[in-house]
Every structure is written in C-alpha cells, then in structure tokens.
C-alpha cells in the first residue's frame, strides 16, 4: 500500500514525465536537433528512475518489512528472491 503523501509525489512526478514525453513528441515533430532530443530522452529516463526509487523504497518499507517480520520462512524467502530480482533490474 502506498501512503497518501507518497502517492501524491508519485503522481506529480508522473505528470511531469508525461509533459516531458509530450515535449519529446513536439521536438520530433519540429525536427529539433538529434542531440537536443537525446538530452530530453535522458531526462525522461532519469525521471522514471526517480519514480522507481520511490516505489522501491515503498516496497522495502511496507511489503518487504511486513513479510520479513511475519516469521513465515517461505514468505521471507520469496521476499528475498523478489528483492534480488528488482535490485538486478535497477542495477542495469
């Protein structure tokens, strides 16, 4: 579950990213220089990484913590596996 303040922060970031995407469409339509477009793509990628960081923190603070504190060994093992998978995805 995502707390209210964090959900608002995520939505605000996603709205800004949506604006950046629309800006990219316009840049392409206006035939802006490739390097300018690539710079904007880089900005969008970093913004999305920021959203991912918030979601990962939320997962660690709520879902993973709850599972690990439950003392259910199977649930803990699944959580560790999930954590390893997501860490590898974000480490790329």
Contacts of 20 (CB under 8 A, 6+ apart): 40, 43, 44, 47
Report the number of distinct structural domains present in the chain: 1
Domain range spanning residue 78? 4-91
pTM of the complete model: 0.82
pLDDT at 7: 95
pLDDT at 80: 92
Distances (CA, A) of 83 to 1, 10, 64, 74: 17, 21, 8, 14
CATH number at 60 reads 1.20.58.1000
Digit-by-digit pLDDT tens for the chain (92 residues) are 898 999 999 999 999 999 999 999 999 999 999 999 999 999 999 999 999 999 999 999 988 999 889 989 999 999 999 999 998 888 87
């Amino acid at each position: 579950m995502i707390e209210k303040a964090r959900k608002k922060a995520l939505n605000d970031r996603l709205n800004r990213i949506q604006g950046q995407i629309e800006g990219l469409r316009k840049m392409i339509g206006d035939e802006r220089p490739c390097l300018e477009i690539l710079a904007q793509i880089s900005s969008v990628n970093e913004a999305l990484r920021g959203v991912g960081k918030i979601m990962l923190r939320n997962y660690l603070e709520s879902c993973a913590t709850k599972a690990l504190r439950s003392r259910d060994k199977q649930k803990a093992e699944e959580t560790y596996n999930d954590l390893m998978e997501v860490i590898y995805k974000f480490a790329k």
